[in-house]
Structure 1
Amino acid sequence: MLRSQAVHGALCALLFFAGSALANPRPITDLPLRAEGDNRWTLPAGEYVGNFRIDRPLHLRCEPGAVFSAAGQGNALSIGASDVLVEDCDLRDWGHNLTDMDSGIFIEGGAKGVTLRNNRLRGVGFGIWADRSENVHILDNQVHGEPSVRSQDRGNGIHLFIVKGAVVAGNQVRETRDGIYIETSNGNRIENNLLEDLRYGIHYMFSNDNHVTGNITRRTRTGYALMQSRKLTVIGNRSEHDRNYGMLMNYITYSTIKDNFVTDVQAGDTGGDSMIQGGEGKALFIYNSLFNVIEHNHFEHSNLGIHLTAGSEDNRIVDNAFVGNEQQVKYVAVRTQEWSADGRGNYWSDYLGWDRNDDGLGDVPYEPNDNVDRLLWMYPQVRLLMNSPGIELLRWVQRAFPVLKSPGVQDSFPLMQLPTESLLKKEPAQEPLS
């Protein structure tokens, strides 16, 4: 009996200390670090269970086989000091309480100049969370979520909250909620990341003066969700086989969308997410967005090339290519918009006009959503008669009697040659995650 009581007491003590260790982060110096000089430390191979915190400037490198495991509670690693570098570490099984912001690596407010490089993270909660930080560098990390959990219940792969001057580059994120989420964060660079099997690949909210360049999204429910932000520079990105939307602009102003390639966006399930309305398969959706430059982009083989609505006006839309989309344009507004500038418009694969003077421009304007197109929206079966004499007669009557014409889009200088050949030849910067 006494022995049984002693064993029971020892087990209780063990559980108590384990619980305390998980509830209260232990300093990183509790681990068997090996000093390498110049404030550089190496963590030997082994599994280190608990929640750990770095509270002083240092350079931590993990040897192969060194693993942080949080046993399903809290943050695996918290960083509460500036000028910290963490590289080559594996982090697993951190908490999944999204309200508590459980993360694989949590950069605390006020920690500046933190660099995370070549780390591998796998868990349900947030992968990397940077909170009220400056000049953070998140480079070449791999973040993998848990596909058995609903996407709404997973954390984001990389989450920036009130962050300034960050560089997020070369990361691979898969099966988290959003790949990279940027909220109320200005002056950051999101570059050359590979984002697969997510809700949103890159998601902006209330963030200004950011650069988004060279990223790739695949099989997301929206590749690039740009919302309530201004002065974004979105250049040279790719959206491949995303569903619902390739690029979504919601209240985006004074931004540049250029040299992007969007292909094969198809209608899909929104996953029960109320933030995604419908599932129309739109390569580009522009909602309540003004004063933007949208040029030299390639939108192809999608259910809908571009949908513009809700007062989206005064945008420069020129030198783009719309190729092989089931429907090229959907425009809902009360004013006609001109989609050309300086005598140059866009390329439309379904344009049927001629170029008799060989100047590279169509002789008649391209009007993708005239009354005939509206008829096709209402009665899709009419598409069988698309090139019939009856349809051509309707278009002729519309041109001859413009009083019958509804507000829509007009491209007065449609391009006869594809302007985006260089985008077709661009190779992906990274291989898919294994």
Structure 2
Amino acid sequence: MLLFKKSLVILFIISSFCAQQVSAQEIQLSPADDLQQALDNSQNGDVITLAPGSYFGNFTITKQVVLRSNKRGEATIDAQSKGHALLLKNSHITIENLTIINWGDDLTEQNSGIYSNEKINYEKVPELIIKNNLLIGDGFGIWLNHVTKAKVINNEVKGNIKLRSADRGNGIQVANVTHSHVYNNEVYETRDGVYVISSQNNLIEQNTMHDLRYGVHYMYSYDNTVKNNVAYKTRAGYALMSSRRLTITGNKTTDSEDYGFLLNFITESTFSYNHVKSVWTKPENKVLGRDGKGLFVYNSGYNTIKHNIIDTAEIGIHLTAGSEKVKIFGNSFINNPTQVKYVSNKKQEWSKDGRGNYWSNYLGWDMGNDGIGDTIFEPNDGIDKLVWQYPEMKMIMDSPAILILRWVQRQFPVLKPPGVKDSFPLMSAPSLSMNEQTVSASTLTKSNSAQSANITSASLKE
């Protein structure tokens, strides 16, 4: 009898699934059709394909459907400068190949091109797929809240440079999101590129972000990976705040004005194989104390910073406000007028297992020909600390009095204040190898959606 009941249950499940598959339809619409009515009348599993043209209005999707066009650039959703263009109110929705424009600019109302904000039965919304779309508007581009296992792939999001940066929305906003993949998107001229808050176990990978405030912005998020992204022409390439157990690897930032990477209250994280190039405050924005920093580490402890390149920043790395217990080794500090600014009264050794960092201004020698300098490198002395405390002293930095003070400190080390010491400085810059990573930057290429899905399943912790 029990076996018979189990058979009936299995038969019911199979028949229900088959019935749903049979009822699913492929629906073709033209701009003359009522898109909202078609969405309301659709069934779970339907595929709605939009013919070329413009579809005006603010549309709500309440069924588990695919809304698409055959080719990006053919079908346009025009929200006519108000509200959300597409409001998603179900799981397992796919938005593909659409051009979405002219949604609202009210940031308080979170006006977005694509917007999903509500849980379903008190649970996160699973399996939203947003891929290969072009979004151009004033508010937020893609807003996902209370979502899991989402894929945001190969989209282009453009903001409005006529608005002040603070008045624009973020390109891709991810809040309370888990086990999701943001991959191969281009975001520019919004406020921030990818903004992540209160989210765990996500992969932000191979995105390109430029002409923004921050490329990637993290807040209150744990156990996430930021890998192989590119940011340029930003105030900060990557602003990582109040988060822990982040893996930041293989990323690049160029032409930032204030920070290459900003680490503010980041703990238990690994920062490796990243490349920072050209962080310089514009002359018209120069004020006392505002200098471009390759790495700015503020109140961030128990982290590992290894195998990175910091090249041509006004300050290579600046540590302050309790940034202790940080392992720093294998990095290359190149052409930075101030290599290190370390504001603390504690000693720090920046080497591991007999290997330190490469410093382009190191003047030591290598008699043993083992690639390790024979003299210790100390990037700062007491004069540097005085200048940090009294910036006006910069005017006399090359005076005989200052040169004599530096000489005295070198001759009598007991007078040196605590600071950074690299006991095993490298004589040459190590190559930026990706051997420790699962995926090499040289092997990552643009892929279709099927390849992206495979990467997601392999990369995320379920």
- After TM superposition, is the score higher than 0.5? yes
- Deviation (angstroms), 1:46: 1.7
**Conserved? CA contact 1:298–1:420, under 8 Å:** no
Determine the structure 2 residue equivalent to 1:23.
Answer: none
**Conserved? CA contact 1:34–1:41, under 8 Å:** no
Determine the structure 2 residue equivalent to 1:312.
Answer: 323
- Deviation (angstroms), 1:417: 1.1
Of 340, 349, 366, which aligns to 2:360?
349
- Deviation (angstroms), 1:39: 2.5
SS of structure 1 residue aligned to 2:177: coil
Map 1:7-406 → 2, pairs under 5 A = 28-31=35-38, 39-63=46-70, 64-110=73-119, 111-268=125-282, 279-374=290-385, 378=391, 379-382=393-396, 384=398, 391=403, 394-406=405-417
- Deviation (angstroms), 1:400: 3.6
Q: What amino acid does structure 1 have at the position aligned with 2:190?
A: T
- Deviation (angstroms), 1:389: 12
Q: What amino acid does structure 1 have at the position aligned with 2:352?
A: A
Aligned-partner Cα distance in 2 for 1:298–1:344 = 16
Aligned-partner Cα distance in 1 for 2:284–2:189 = 15
Q: What amino acid does structure 2 have at the position aligned with 1:43?
A: L
**Conserved? CA contact 2:45–2:64, under 8 Å:** no
> Structure 1 stretches of 5 or more lacking a match?
1-25, 272-276
1:330-383 residue CA offsets vs partner (Å, 9 max, x unmatched) = 110011111111111000000000111111111111100112434665433455
- Deviation (angstroms), 1:107: 1.6
Q: Number of matched residues?
A: 396
> Structure 2 stretches of 5 or more lacking a match?
1-32, 120-124, 435-439, 447-462
- Deviation (angstroms), 1:395: 4.5
**Conserved? CA contact 1:243–1:279, under 8 Å:** no
Percent identical among aligned pairs is: 44
- Deviation (angstroms), 1:314: 0.3
Cα distance change of structure 1 residues 185 and 28 upon mapping to structure 2, 3 Å threshold:
farther
Q: What amino acid does structure 1 have at the position aligned with 2:271?
A: I
Q: Structure 2 length normalisation: TM-score?
A: 0.80
Determine the structure 2 residue equivalent to 1:7.
Answer: none
SS of structure 1 residue aligned to 2:100: strand
Q: What amino acid does structure 1 have at the position aligned with 2:334?
A: V
Cα distance change of structure 1 residues 105 and 210 upon mapping to structure 2, 3 Å threshold:
same
Aligned-partner Cα distance in 2 for 1:257–1:318 = 11
- Deviation (angstroms), 1:398: 2.0
**Conserved? CA contact 1:159–1:182, under 8 Å:** yes
Q: What amino acid does structure 2 have at the position aligned with 1:263?
A: K
Aligned-partner Cα distance in 1 for 2:289–2:417 = 25
- Deviation (angstroms), 1:58: 1.4
1:112-142 residue CA offsets vs partner (Å, 9 max, x unmatched) = 1000000000000000000111111100000
Q: What amino acid does structure 2 have at the position aligned with 1:284?
A: L
- Deviation (angstroms), 1:108: 2.9
Q: What amino acid does structure 2 have at the position aligned with 1:193?
A: N
- Deviation (angstroms), 1:109: 2.3
RMSD between aligned alpha carbons? 2.8
Aligned-partner Cα distance in 1 for 2:39–2:175 = 33
Q: Structure 1 length normalisation: TM-score?
A: 0.85
Q: What amino acid does structure 2 have at the position aligned with 1:97?
A: D
SS of structure 1 residue aligned to 2:148: coil
Aligned-partner Cα distance in 2 for 1:321–1:54 = 51
Q: What amino acid does structure 1 have at the position aligned with 2:204?
A: I
**Conserved? CA contact 1:184–1:206, under 8 Å:** yes
- Deviation (angstroms), 1:399: 3.7
Aligned-partner Cα distance in 1 for 2:137–2:280 = 29
Q: What amino acid does structure 2 have at the position aligned with 1:78?
A: L
**Conserved? CA contact 1:221–1:268, under 8 Å:** no
**Conserved? CA contact 2:195–2:218, under 8 Å:** yes
**Conserved? CA contact 2:184–2:206, under 8 Å:** yes
Aligned-partner Cα distance in 2 for 1:239–1:361 = 29
1:46-105 residue CA offsets vs partner (Å, 9 max, x unmatched) = 211111011111122114421111111100001111111111000000001101000000
1:291-322 residue CA offsets vs partner (Å, 9 max, x unmatched) = 00100000001111000000100010000000
Cα distance change of structure 1 residues 180 and 290 upon mapping to structure 2, 3 Å threshold:
same
Aligned-partner Cα distance in 2 for 1:314–1:91 = 47
Of 424, 431, 434, which aligns to 1:420?
431
**Conserved? CA contact 1:33–1:42, under 8 Å:** no
